[in-house]
Amino acid sequence: MDETYKRFLAKGRIDLEALESRVNNIEYKLNSKGPLLLAGHAESKLKALYKACESLGIEGLNLSKAIKAENQPIKQLMDAITIN
């Protein structure tokens, strides 16, 4: 059962790091004022950032649901039975 938890934690850590990297990227783009303020490009840039934020939220929600499903007692029991 320890190996199952280690794999689950490693995968979760990798997924969280990927989400954090995307959040940092979006945050950097929001903080950089130069290209965003150019006339005519601001609306398209903001729409692209909004879409990126939306997809990031959806991915975070999906990750949360996956973690919740993996932590259910019946799932843990079935994993323990199949591994042993």
Containing structural domain, residue 56? 2-38+46-83
Write down the pLDDT at residue 32: 77
Amino acid type, 69: A
- pLDDT category of residue 34 using cuts at 50, 70 and 90: low
Highest-scoring range by mean pLDDT, 9-13, 53-57, 79-83: 53-57
Instruction: Kindly state the average pLDDT of the residues 78-84.
Output: 71
| Confidence (pTM) | 0.63
Domain count within the chain? 1
* Interatomic CA distance for residues 74 and 25, integer angstroms: 38
CB 80 within 8 A of CB 1: yes
Is the pLDDT assigned to residue 39 strictly greater than 90?
Answer: no
Please say whether the dihedral angle defined by the alpha carbons of residues 24, 29, 31 and 53, taken in this order, is positive or negative. Answer: negative
